[in-house]
Amino acid sequence: MERTLIIGASGNIGKQLTQLMLNDGHHINALVRDKSKLSDIEHPNMTIVEADLTKDFNHAFENCSNVVFAAGSGGHTGADKTMLIDLWAACRAADYAKNHQLKHFVMVSSIGADSPSSGPEEMQPYLVAKHMADEHLKQSGLHYSIIRPGSLTDKEPTNRFTSDRPAKKEQAIITRADVAQALLYCVTQPSEASCITELFNGDKNIADVIK
């Protein structure tokens, strides 16, 4: 029986992915700092694992085959939390996954992580953290799918995607619900080769975007 670890299962994207996977019949470990944030989800296929990502969370990987790193420090924290969560915790998650011989690591990164210095000055610490975490995963030897979504919105899902970066910044967007759908696809239909995909709302099915 395959089991997926969702790191950041109570976050804006992680919680939607958690519900999608449970609805689809998957078994999951939901890693959260405070289990009360998942009090509205009850399912026999879900095991809640409480852990602080700034400390040891190796135990969360036990009996898992795949992992999705959907955690983030949030937009209201400083560069210190960004380094601890978006960089350091993500790097340690890759190390733990390798130690546990997981089959597939799905990373939620960000548009602009390929070239942090080209991003807005106020976003550069975040983009550097995402860039370094992605590089660490790429060098880990794990099979990986790195998703780099555009600017996130809370609108209703469109179920339509593109990996072609729009020319206009205001069009380089994607709903959090659509990101969750894409992550579900990555887990259930893993690509044969490791891949990095920028992701925006567009006019294609997810299967035509993540191959």
Domains annotated on the chain, with CATH: 3-208 (3.40.50.720)
Q: What single-letter amino acid sits at 163?
A: S
Q: Residue 28, SS3? A: strand
Q: Is 96 a catalytic residue?
A: no
The residue from 96, 126, 144, 185 that is catalytic is 126
> How confident is the model at residue 78, as a pLDDT?
74
Q: What single-letter amino acid sits at 46?
A: M
How wide is the angle at C-alpha 81 spanned by C-alphas 79 and 86, nearest 5°?
95
Average pLDDT for consecutive 10-residue bins of the chain (211 residues)?
Answer: 95 97 98 95 97 97 97 74 94 98 98 92 91 98 98 97 94 97 97 96 96 79
Q: With contact defined as beta carbons under 8 Å apart, do 175 and 153 qualify?
A: yes
For the beta sheet containing 3-7, the strands, ordered from the edge strand earlier in sequence to the opposite edge, are 46-50, 27-32, 3-7, 66-69, 104-108, 144-149, 195-201, 161-162
Tokens read off for 58: 């190796």
> How confident is the model at residue 74, as a pLDDT?
65
> How confident is the model at residue 79, as a pLDDT?
76
> How confident is the model at residue 76, as a pLDDT?
61
